[in-house]
Structure 1
Amino acid sequence: MPAYAPTPHRRLLASGAVLHVVQQPWARQAGACLRVAAGSHDEPPAYPGLAHFLEHLLFLGSRDYPTDEGLMAFVQRHGGLVNASTQARHTDFVFELPAEHLSAALTRLLDMLSRPLLEIDAQVREREVLHAEYQARSQDADGRIDHALGQALAAGHRCSEFLAGDRSTLVVESAAFQRALHDYHQRHYQARHMCLTLVGPQPAEQLLDIAEALLAVLPAGDGQADSTPPQDLLPLRAPQLYLQHNRPEVYLGVAVQLDTRDLNAPLELLLDALQDPAPGGLLAGLRELELCRQLQTRVLYRYEGQCLLRLDFPDATAEQGAALRAAVQHWAACLHGHADCSQRLQHHQQAAILRQLGLSPLAAARELQSPAQNDGHTLRDLDALLACLARGEGLIELQCGEQARPLWPAIGLDLPLQALPMQASAPISKRQWRLSSAEPLLAGAAVASAALPLAALRHHPGQAEGGPAALYWRGPWSGAGDVAAIEAALLARSADLRWRGERLGIACQLNVQASGWTLSLRGPAPLLPAFSGLLVPLLLVAVAEPAEPASQGVLLRALLQRLPQLCELPAASRLEGLSVGLGASEQAQLAELCTAVEPLAELPPTPCIDTGIDWHQVAQPGADAALLLFCPLPAVDAHTDAAWQLLGQIVQGRFYQRLRGELQLGYALFAGFRQVQGSRGLLFALQSPVCDAAAIFAHIRAFLDEQRQQLEALDDAAVSRYRDALLPLLNPAQANWPRAEQLWQLHLAGAPEAHLQQVQQALAALTVSDLLRAHAQLLLARDWRVLASAAPSAA
């Protein structure tokens, strides 16, 4: 199937820095990922968490840019995304924003990396943020599983340490700590330890020139030793472990140590094969043996020839661990040296080309950090991985259950964990395993699908440069059980097909509410109609057995999952669809799948409800508290919409600076203009380890009260700057995916397509008086909707 295959371009600078760039002609945003080749395993053992601490400090002001003018404030002001993460052997700094602001954002990024202030007062405040993160991570069940698997490794490897950092390890008052912090920064934050990847609409040579000109600010480095060589992962010191846990589960870990420089490509191929639900594969065999229904994999650690993998079997019990081990080993032994691996690699590479088409600039910049490898090396290392797995020398079995266990003394976090006597794998019947290399969707073959019922459809042309198309569906569901259980059942029913789509570049998101389900698809236009013909019928069949909802992990994420229930849409009575970027042939193919097609009519506007403060409690375990406050628009006209959107653009950065930077209330928070189902308005969110839900609400209310004085101080130039940052986000002539999202949200809100242009026109005429009027409307709290982890009377 023909597809645009972006060509990476590479440049090695005299300073030692490496650049990789890719042009996405259809993109309107630019994405960047700067990787520093040092992480938590390179920090001094005396100060666990120092590397992560430094990552945070770098955002708190640099020589040329104070915090309110730095990278985070700049990117957020232009409606972009910015983040950073510290891994074992590297630290990533990423952002995405309108392409015309790429140079300004890169300038701020490089200044903060090379010339941070590292002020002591800021360190003291930020240490409290990391201490709160440490407490949350130490209670997170998923993180404890990872930490427990690390205890099986050979003594001395830092994968067995919990390197989060808290008040006891981040002793900022100590002169020795300050020397260690500055030494770490000077040693590792040098050009020769950095790789910068850029993706945007600009030609590749232009992206390379932009990056090279700006990277000159970085110190090249003085030739000091590179990252610390890792200790051996093997031999395992405890191949079988038992963790005291609230559920009887079993997990497998796979520790591998090979004599090779890079395991990225062979690991991708291995994980792809492990999860493939096709007949003859591991997952299909485990289902036939009634050992599990699903298999999820992830990489916990990867550096040069070392890796630690985690295999999850969500519905398997601890008693099935031996049988699961035996099946995995037998599968690997059968495929070791098999010719199917070469065909699978070709199939995987075809799928990767399509997958690139659907990536955002930021996601593509992340992927560029792992350049392509020689096919021969990939197959050789894959064969070595399979051989290790077949021998079982690095295979870890972690049983979980409610039986009490003594504390296992681990660095950073003790666990109720105990080593078990090694038991042989259970015998398993001989099977003929194989790797599937056929994918009807990829081959362009006709795909059998059920006829879709009457559908109301609307199609919009795509942008001239191409890019991924987008297709939205909304339909009714039937069955017994609450919304969360129905959603879990539909997700489980469609899991195999969604996995197939995602590996072909079809980003798939399914949400279920009382009014119906909503499905968004983004990916190569030729694949979307056939994929819809397979997936949509699965969602229309009644649910007989609701499933148990998956754990949401972070408390704030759990509340966000429930937020749409506060703003329900009219019930879906038929199938509705909207597309952007499908060609005439794809539109015709989609119409052929439906028994009948009619034009998509607008939904009725969501009514405004004067209810005061409508507070809903969602009880969640854990020590933190969290709260979402959604304030719907008081009217749906374009002038009100524009004023509230501009108000959201102004307060989002201030909210972060005030509640996180100054008050130190929490580490997970955001604010801004959002749409929840059919309601548009302002959303404020905060998770806090230091105050309860009622206190969070009081702080948000106080923050909103304070904004009137700030708004009154704005001059015309400041309003113009905020307006200029917002306008590109409202431009309908943008990439297919954001345009489709805008049009779909307008449909759900019952607003005409012309609403966007009307909002743009209203925005151009807004004054400070209009902002003050919008702020006054907001404070009336006529229809505030709160979703919190506790009742309002908890304080």
Structure 2
Amino acid sequence: MPALNHPHTQRLTLNNGLTLSVHHEPRLKRCAAVLRVAAGSHDVPGEWPGMAHFLEHLLFLGSERFPAPDNLMAYVQRHGGQVNARTSERHTDFFFELPPSAFAGGLERLCDMLANPCMNMEAQLREREVLHAEFIAWAREPSAQRQLKWLQPLNPAHPLRAFHAGNRYSLPVLRPGFQQALQGFYQQFYQTGQMTLSLAGPQSVTELQALAEHCSAVLHTGKAVPQLAPPALISSDEHAYQHIDGQCLSLMFAFDQLPPDSAQALGFLCHWINADKPGGLVAELRQQHLIDTLKAAPVYQFERQALLHIEFSAASDMAAHAARIQETFYDWLSFFSAHAEWPTLRDEYQLLQQRQHAVSGAMELARRDAEQQALRLSEQGVSALKSVLQQMLTTAHAASAHDWQLPAPNPFLRVTDEPVSAGLIRGQTSAHRGLRTFAQDRLRGRRDLSAMSFSSAIAPQNTEASMYLRWCLPGPLADTLLTRLQTSLRSLQQDARQAGVELVLSASGTDLQLKMQGFHTPMPSILEHALRTLAAPAADDCDVAPAPSLMPIRYLLKRLPELDQQGTATRISDLEQCWTRAQWDGLAVGLPASTQAAMASVLSKVPGTPNSQLPQPPALRHAWYLEPGDSSEQALLVFCPTPIGRLADEAAWRLLAHLAQTPFYQQLRVELQLGYAVFSGLRQMNGQTGLLFGVQSPHASVAEIYGHIETFIAQLPTLITALDETSFTQARASLAQQFSNASLGALQAAELLWQAKLAGHPSDYLTALYNELMTLDQATTLSAAQRIAHAENGWLCLATYAAPETFYQGRSGSLPTLQ
């Protein structure tokens, strides 16, 4: 049966041939659009590999109506949204998310860039170099190299075996034959018969449909074009094979004749393979010390074909244990297959899908609608699952020697609200529930049983809430103890995520932080389980597989908040010492009264001493941190912090980040072609706000990258003086709007409030920041730009190579003044 639409979703075909899906969700603060073109890397002519990916890049360069300074990317950045695209094997997705007030402008630009792209030769040559840099970075990633290896047994004639990323040599831009093929591919597939537009937001279905009809009128009309069916995935009789690559074992299953709804079936099966539950596959393999992690996922699906990848990883070489792992896997699969129909697991899976749907943001809802994801496993899906299992279990298996069990129900999917009277302090009424704001904590100067502040800055509404717990420790945690705590939380994190709550434990310097964000109802129960686990984590009796290697710039971004500002403090390796000497505080945002009350009773179990007056993190200093890696590419982050304590300074820094984003990208990525990983923006970490610049380059040295960033920062004052009064006012208003109640989502607001608490700001921070932005003048902004250019508050740099001499030299020279 076809995927069921959500009651607030309508799917139809417009007069121009465009397939449209519109989703009305009143709880959303943002809107999203996903436009899917039914053409991908496997649909291009074989002699021009990478053409589909190349075209995706070209379309973002702008159009005659919306050139680069005002194209979709620049527009979305100006309005605090997100935008990206992805070229897959048989489709290409373009997607963005914006506040409702800016959504029409974003959709207008999206449709126009697909209908009227600017693809002149100079732009193509320039963008090909960017794509070439992206290809080099991708090819050097271990995960990409492993993928190429485990695809080798497939049919050589299948496009999965071919090269599709595109680079300088596969995209001969100057050849007439290439240009003819590029235009032919664009004209054949980039028309309404090949497109599906999915919109999600708080607007009514009627409003969203009218907006889609208006903006999509510029698209080229056409009829659906059948995509050529590929050859068989595998040419031998064996449709399953394995690949061992050091610490990774991959089991591959190739399916060529799948029945309808097989995508549902594979999603259902992978969910239960991945389930980290007692009596399940993951638990059994870990207990035998055979693996550390397991991940099952389809890596390719088109029509009746699919390629299923099941990856096992461990800290040691997998070759010695591969046979036992494979035998155990097939034993579990036989056990699972014997429970035909799976009524209990189907009910559990439906609850999970419903919860995920209930907490999804606009982008995720639009994506789900574009893919027509079902909220349950249909009867046809059950038949498909039986067919999948039959193809995987080609031989009979003896009675199991393992005591397998079906996964226990997720307790957090069925939680009920606590009685509203629970957790009240004597003398309180429901009006006081939630204790105090963090501003009151400071003013009263007292230490209560709970150091958790329940913020009223964001009114409890819908389903989303956030909670932060911070422990201040006498020293930084030893890596082994932190890993032990994080590993012990894995099963709980999986249950929490399925119930709509992200649970993350992280360390920064001498601080340990536990964060929960998402569906508020199960949070007290999840917190209670987490505290119990942290107080008595599992024994550290097995090695942990190393985390997947990250590309240099991503690794630096991960390390940036973790830089130890406490010097050489002794690292804590004893758990009892950790909790005995810890002091803690916290913040909860968006919790309704009943959940606050239930949470208050759980907080009495937090280890350590509550302290509502923990000191602020120390100020960052002018410093260069070195994080060398295995990659030949160089990367650099430059963080320019604000002065501590003044909201007026933070407002100016935010406006500078807002104004610098597009020109920084244009100069360093487009004009200088340093690489494809080029970005700037405002970042907050551990209560410190700053302007962040980042670059990864396949050819430029760190010294060269630093020189370009330094030059750009020196130009910030000029960027401000070049603005007329109208442009400055418009930019200021656009930024301030992002912090208004109408635009700010609950989770985003909570993160801002937590960073404000760490920085020592009052509890009315959001209102105060909005007011500071609205009254910010050009002279103050220019002064901030000059202070950043002179590094008056220092620059914190994190790089893959040592600092150039110029980093430590003073700056001189005149700076422009505002006329």
Q: Structure 1 length normalisation: TM-score?
A: 0.88
Corresponding letter in the other structure for 1:468? E
1:735-774 equivalent positions in 2, closer than 5 A: 735-774=745-784
Report the secondary structure of 1:251's partner residue: strand
The separation in 2 between residues aligned to 1:97 and 1:231, in whole angstroms, is 41
Which residue in the other structure is 2:72 paired with? Answer: 71
The aligned residue for residue 376 of structure 1 is 379
Offset of residue 547 of structure 1: 5.0
For residues 571-720 of structure 1, the aligned pairs below 5 Å read 573-595=582-604, 601=612, 603-608=614-619, 611=621, 613-720=622-729
Q: Give the residue type in structure 1 aligned to 2:349.
A: H
CA separation of 1:738 and 1:586: change in aligned 2, threshold 3 A: same
SS in 1 for 2:674: coil
What letter corresponds to residue 435 of structure 1 in structure 2? L
- State the partner residue of 2:262: 263
Deviation at 1:749, TM superposition (A): 1.4
Partners of 2:260 and 2:381 within 8 A in 1: no
1:532 counterpart residue number: 527
Distance in 2, matches of 1:199 and 1:503, equals 22
Query: Which is worse superposed, 60-69 or 366-375?
Result: 366-375
Which one-letter code corresponds to 1:499 in the other structure? Q
| Residue 469 (structure 1) aligned with residue 443 (structure 2) | no
| Alpha-carbon distance in structure 1 between the residues aligned to 2:81 and 2:787 | 27
Tell me the SS of whatever aligns to 1:669: strand
Q: Corresponding residue for 1:354? A: 355
Q: Which runs of 5+ in 1 are unaligned?
A: 393-424
Which residue in the other structure is 1:503 paired with?
A: 498
Residue 15 (structure 2) pairs with residue 14 (structure 1): yes
**Cα distance 1:467–1:199, how it changes in 2: closer, same or farther (>3 A)?**
farther
Per the alignment, residue 483 of structure 2 pairs with 488
1:36–1:193 contact (8 Å) kept in structure 2: yes
- 8 Å CA contact 2:642, 2:653 repeated in 1: yes
Shift of 1:291: 2.5
Rounded Cα–Cα distance in structure 2 between residues aligned with 1:479 and 1:753 = 29
User: Match for residue 443 of structure 1?
Assistant: 414
Unaligned 5+ segments in structure 2 are 1-5, 424-447, 570-577, 807-819
2:801 to 770, 780, 790: 790
Corresponding pairs, count: 749
- The whole-number CA distance in structure 2 between the counterparts of 1:665 and 1:38 is 30
Letter in 1 for 2:112: D
1:446 positional shift: 11
Q: What is the distance in 2 between the residues matched to 1:464 and 1:191? A: 42
Query: What is the alpha-carbon distance in structure 2 between the residues aligned to residue 248 and residue 507 of structure 1?
Result: 28
Q: CA deviation at 1:438?
A: 1.9
Give the corresponding residue for 1:564. Answer: 561
Cα distance 1:481–1:771, how it changes in 2: closer, same or farther (>3 A)?
Answer: closer
Residue aligned with 2:370, SS: coil
Is it true that 1:456 corresponds to 2:467 in the alignment? Answer: no
CA separation in 2, counterparts of 1:280 and 1:764?
58
2:432 is matched with: none
AA aligned opposite 2:387: A
Cα offset, 1:515, TM superposition: 1.8
Matched position secondary structure for 2:117: coil
* 2:325 match: 324
Shift, 1:663, TM fit = 0.7
Q: For 1:105-254, what aligned pairs fall within 5 Å after superposition?
A: 105-222=106-223, 225-236=225-236, 247-254=246-253
Aligned to 2:58: 57
Return the offset for 1:774: 0.7
Write the letter of the residue equivalent to 2:82. Answer: L
- Partners in 2 of 1:787 and 1:202 — Cα distance? 43
Distance 1:565 1:368, change over 3 A: same
Q: Deviations along 1:429-453, whole A, 9 cap, x unmatched?
A: 5335443362222222799xxx9x9
Amino acid in structure 1 at the alignment position of 2:748: P
How far the C-alpha of 1:190 sits from its partner, in A, is 1.0
Residues 300 and 60 (structure 1), Cα distance of their counterparts in 2 relative to 1, 3 Å cut: same
**What CA distance in whole angstroms lies between the structure 1 residues aligned with 2:721 and 2:475?**
53
SS in 1 for 2:715: helix
Whether 1:308 aligns to 2:279 is: no
- State the match for 2:551 in structure 1: 554
Q: CA deviation at 1:574?
A: 2.7
Shift of 1:479: 10
Residue in 2 that maps onto 1:48: 49
Worse-superposed segment, 427-436 or 80-89: 427-436
Distance apart, 1:229 and its partner CA: 1.2
- Check conservation: 2:474, 2:582, Cα contact below 8 A: no
Question: 1:727 aligns to what?
Answer: 736
Q: 1:119 to 1:237 in 2, by over 3 A?
A: farther
Residue 301 of structure 1 deviates from its aligned partner by 1.0
Is the alpha carbon distance of 1:766 and 1:603 closer, same or farther for their aligned partners in structure 2, counting shifts above 3 Å? Answer: same
> Comparing 702-711 with 231-240, which one deviates more in the overlay?
231-240
Q: CA deviation at 1:314?
A: 1.7
Question: 1:39, CA displacement in angstroms?
Answer: 0.7
- Give the distance between the partners of 2:350 and 2:242, measured in 1 at CA: 37
1:236/1:139 CA distance change after superposition, 3 Å: farther
Structure-2 separation of matches of 1:322 and 1:163: 34
Superposed CA RMSD = 2.9
- Distance in 1, matches of 2:20 and 2:390, equals 35
Distance 2:564 2:730 in 1: 32
Instruction: Give CA-to-partner distance per residue, 1:624-681, whole Å, 9 cap, x none.
Output: 1001111111242121111111111100111111110111001112111111212111
Q: Report SS of the residue matched to 2:20.
A: strand
Residues 332-390 of structure 1: CA deviation (Å, up to 9, x unaligned): 22322624623212211111111123222112222222224471111111111122222
- TM-score norm. by structure 2 comes to 0.86
- CA pair 642-222 structure 1, distance change in 2 beyond 3 A: same
Q: For residue 413 of structure 1, what is the aligned residue in structure 2?
A: none
Contact 1:340 1:435 in 2 (8 A): no
Cα gap change, 1:297/1:585 in structure 2, threshold over 3 Å: closer, same or farther?
same
> Per-residue deviation at 1:240?
5.0
For residues 114 and 13 of structure 1, what CA distance do their matches in structure 2 show? 17
Q: 1:236, CA displacement in angstroms? A: 4.5
Distance 1:146 1:272, change over 3 A: same
Kindly state the Cα deviation for residue 184 of structure 1 after the two structures are TM-superposed. Answer: 0.8
- How many Å separate the matches in 1 of 2:206 and 2:610? 45
Amino acid at match of 2:688: S
Q: Among the aligned pairs, what percent are the same residue?
A: 33
1:489 Cα deviation after fit: 3.0
Q: Which residue of 2 aligns with 1:431?
A: 402
User: 1:297 Cα deviation (Å)?
Assistant: 2.3
Q: Please state how far the C-alpha of 1:693 moved relative to its aligned partner.
A: 1.2
CA contact (8 A) 2:466 2:515 kept: yes
Asked if the contact 1:262/1:305 (under 8 Å) is kept, the reply is no
1:493–1:41 distance in 2 versus 1, CA, 3 Å: same
CA gap 1:479/1:721 in 2 versus in 1, 3 angstroms: closer
CA distance in 2: counterparts of 1:580 and 1:554, whole angstroms? 34
Match of 1:513 among 485, 508, 512: 508
Give, in whole Å, the separation in 2 of the partners of 1:257 and 1:329: 21
Over 3 Å counting, the alpha-carbon distance change for 1:727 and 1:252 in structure 2 is: same
Range that drifts further, 354-363 or 266-275: 354-363
**Counterparts of 2:291 and 2:475, CA distance in 1:** 25
CA distance in 1, matches of 2:293, 2:260: 32
Superimposed CA distance per residue, residues 238-261 of structure 1 (whole angstroms, 9 cap, x where no aligned partner): 865666x6x343222222223434
